[in-house]
Amino acid sequence: MRESNPVHLILTGVGSVLATVAALGYYGYLHIAKPEDALLLADYTMLKTLPGEDYRVSLKPAEQTAQCIDGVLVLFDIRQPGLTGVLVDNRKRAVRCMGQEVPRAE
């Protein structure tokens, strides 16, 4: 029996991976995230409101506005036009919104 050279197998494997990555990138299936893609606009805290209890907020408005788009809360930065983002929790789950309705506990 003839022994095969392992160098050829290694080069074939590396070449196959490179060709696959190149093809995925060419057809748009591969996206390499940049640090700017996940830019943190600001930190947010939810103030829980209880009936009959007062809570205090600043009279100065935040530098972001929010709008419900397709059931997801989207933030728009006032200082930097064109900078938008989706509001997510600490597990990167999008905060949902339901128009003017008050969410029900499930």
Over the stretch 63-89, which tens digit does the pLDDT of each residue have?
A: 888 888 888 888 888 887 777 888 888
Span 52-67, average pLDDT: 85
Residues 68 and 103 in one domain: yes
Q: What is the mean pLDDT of the chain?
A: 80
Residues 42 and 85 in one domain: yes
pLDDT of residue 103: 47
Residues 104 and 76 in one domain: yes
Residues 28 and 79 in one domain: no
Residues 69 and 19 in one domain: no
In whole angstroms, how far apart are CA 52 and each of 2, 45, 49, 55? 86, 21, 9, 10
Span 55-70, average pLDDT: 86
Residues 44 and 23 in one domain: no
pLDDT tens track for 3-14: 778 898 899 999
Which residues make beta-bridge pairs with 76? Answer: 65, 84
Please give the tally of structural domains in the chain: 2
Residues 12 and 44 in one domain: no
Residues 24 and 76 in one domain: no
Supply the pTM of this predicted model. 0.48
